[in-house]
Structures are given as C-alpha cells and as structure tokens.
Amino acid sequence: MAAKKICRNEKLQLKGSLKKNGFDRWRLVTNAVSSVSGEEKTFFIEFYAVNPALSPKECVLGFKNRFNKSTEDFQYVLPGSETAKNFTSQTYVSPSFFMIKAGVLSASANQMNSYFPPEILSAKKSEYIISAKQEELPACILSHDYTSGAIKVTDEDLRAHPEYMGSSGTMSWNLKFSRRISFSSDYRAKDINWAVLGGKTDFSGTIIFNNEEYNVNPRNSFGYYDKNWGRDFSSPYFHLSSSNFTSEISGRLLDASVFAVQGEYKNKVSVLVSIEGKNIEFHANKLKKKQISFDCQEMNGTEEEGLKLHWSVSVHDRRYVIDIDIFCNTKDMSLRDFESSAGGRKVMRILASGSGTGKFKLYKKMKKNLELLEQAEILKCICEYGNLETAEK
C-alpha cells in the first residue's frame, strides 16, 4: 500500500480547483565532488508548477523582486517581520508558470530559475513524471529513477526580468537515483500536502555547474527527495532532514538511517525517522497522545563562526522519545525565493543550507526511566526556515 501511495504522490497533483489556485513542487538534493578541485557541494534541483490553467500559453510572474539580499535578510526571515523590508509596488496579477530552480545550498546563493509557459509542461507519459523543454537546451526530465536537464540564466536575463528572483549561471545534470528509505504520504490537508518520496536516496552521475564538472557517488551522495503540493506554502516553514548518521555508541556509520522534519502545520511539525530498519513516525495531523516541541532560534557562535541558527525538535509518545538538535552558521546559508501561487505578490523566502550539524537521540520509555537506544552525530543536514511575505501596496 505504501508503495502505491508514493507512486501516486509522485505525479502532478494539480487537479480540479488546484489548476487555477495551487502549486506542485518536487525537490531533489544531493552532494557532489568537483573533479577539478575536490570541493564538495550540496546541489538541489526543483520542479515547481503554479496555477497552470490560468495562463497555459504565457508565463506570468506576479511578483517583481527588486532588492538585493544582505545580512539584514537573516534577521528578516526568522521573525517574518512585515516592516523590515520595502518591496517595489506593482499591479497585482495572478501567477501562472512552470519553473525549474537549480543550484547550490550554500552562502554563494548560486541558484538559477528557468521559467516555462505551463503548456510546455508534460506530465502524462508513462516513462517520466514530468518534463519541460526550452528550444536551445535539452529537456528537463524527472522520472521514477533518473533526472536530467539543463538550465541557463544570463546577466541580461536578470536585468530585463528582475522578477526572476535568482542568479545568473548554467547547470546541467544527468543523474540516476535509487530510493533506499521512503515514507508513505505524510501530512495531508486541503491547503498543503507533504510526501517524503526518498528520505535516503542514492544518486549517481554528473553535474556541470558553471562549466565545472561534479561527480555524484551513491555512497556519499546523502540524497533526499520530497514533494509538496496544495494551495500555498505552510508558513512559517520549518524543515530538517539528513541521512548522514554516525553512532556515538558504536562508532559506526548508520547507513540505513534517516530523519525528516517538516511544518509548520497548524503549529505542529511531522517527524519521520528510520533507524537501521525501524520506522518511527509522528504525523502532525494525527498528534493526539503524542507531544512535540520545536523551535528555530538565532544564537551567537564563536568569533570565527559568527551568528548561528539552532533548530530543536523533541517528540515523545508512550514508547519513544526523540531529540534532534541542529546548528548552522548563518554565513553558510542562502535565501531562496518562491513566488506564491496565492498571488498578491506573496513570496516564500526560505533561509537554507545543506551543511547543518548536530545530534540525534532516540530513547525507549521503560516505566519511569528512559533507555538510550541510539545517539548519533548528524552531518550534511538540510536545514531550512522561512516565511511567506507580502509586498506593500
């Protein structure tokens, strides 16, 4: 049953009223190593469909982003302040487009946004989930076990279209993947859904990023694959995920372990965990006898580290207690912008990194005592926090 749910959730979900008032977003993340310098980077590839039935033949962007990112943005994203920034006033229009966003989860904020008219989007073939093609570049394809494509954004493109909300550059990829650990559909509601299609996904292949080749090794890719769809993003947006576990009890790399945390869903988050073959799931829409606390706070690091963010999650039921603490230097993070399907020049701004580190602890309740089952060091954690923001009139 779980496999059928996952297969169904992979497909385009914009049906009925969601065709004119909804979004669908596939996200893949993998680590890769430069064949030139040996430097490792965390790459992401996202397929994002917005209100396709509103303007099938023309790509319509309703929000124009005319400000530069700065250190003040970090203060802005966390509290979701409405007055910390001024946006350029524009006429309200409802967006309708298909976008491929690809780049690096790092402070360099290298992320390219390539836009397509919705009618170019193909999602009805059995050999792939979704596909879109520009005239001069290969088709961007997401299948059940591979993804390939190429995007290009020039400085001239950004000067002519500041609403693209990205950076210039090129990226092409040819990747096969195998989903080793997946979860059945998680949070389902009228306005937002989330499915972890590959909490631990092994990627292999190559990525060409700004003319430099990066090799993807399945043993070290620590890949992740999930999907969101609905009427609009959840806000605030809270996400953690990692499959890089090293046990502090045995010293072993826990190769069959992963966790994924996401919300906020009505002031709750979902916590999905798989530890060496054992799944423990806490679903936000089923939290009755379970208890969850979570937070994302700014804190001071060392003089060299500067400001840091601390994500904390604690969840327990009658059998288990799970504690997760993740840290990331703000200087290693970047902002990613997504125009909201709700229109009104709303934009989801997500502060993100693929280099979070921290601790994972799993306890079993033994009457009034706790037995520590696992304590692990976490590396290469995807850590994100964001808010929906609205332009001033």
Q: CB–CB of 386/334 below 8 Å?
A: no
Q: Which secondary structure element, helix H or strand E, spans residue 6, and what is its range? A: helix 2-10
Average pLDDT, integer, range 113-137: 87
What tokens does 234 get?
Answer: 């959840």
Q: What is the pLDDT of residues 147-184, one digit of tens each?
A: 999 999 999 999 998 888 889 999 999 999 999 999 87
Q: Which secondary structure element, helix H or strand E, spans residue 335, and what is its range? A: strand 334-339
- Structurally, the chain folds into a number of domains equal to 1
Query: Per the confidence metrics, is the pTM higher than 0.85?
Result: yes
Angle at 305 between CA 299 and CA 309, to 5 degrees: 30
Q: CB–CB of 148/166 below 8 Å?
A: no
Average pLDDT, integer, range 173-198: 90
Distance, in Å, from the CA atom of 304 to the CA atom of 323, rounded to the nearest integer, reads 27
Average pLDDT, integer, range 293-316: 92
pLDDT of residue 233: 94
What tokens does 216 get?
Answer: 């993807």
**What Cα–Cα distance (Å) separates residue 61 from each residue in 20, 223, 323, 338, 343?**
14, 31, 41, 11, 9
Q: Which domain holds residue 135?
A: 2-390
Angle at 166 between CA 160 and CA 167, to 5 degrees: 85
Which residues are within 8 A (CB) of 297 and not within 5 positions of it... i.e. 6 or more apart? 309, 310, 312
Average pLDDT, integer, range 118-125: 88
Tell me the range of 73-87, 89-103, 222-236 where mean pLDDT is highest.
Answer: 222-236
pLDDT of residue 88: 46
Q: What is the pLDDT of residues 313-348, one digit of tens each?
A: 999 988 999 999 999 999 999 999 999 998 888 899
Query: Is pLDDT above 80 for 7?
Result: no
Q: Which region holds residue 230: left if phi is over 0, alpha if psi is between -120 and 50, else beta?
A: left
Query: Is pLDDT above 60 for 72?
Result: no
Q: Which residue has the higher pLDDT, 287 or 333?
A: 333
Confidence of residue 74 (pLDDT cuts 50, 70, 90): low
Distance, in Å, from the CA atom of 51 to the CA atom of 274, rounded to the nearest integer, reads 35
Q: What is the pLDDT of residues 353-378, one digit of tens each?
A: 999 999 999 999 998 899 999 999 99
How far is CA 128 from its chain centroid? Answer: 21
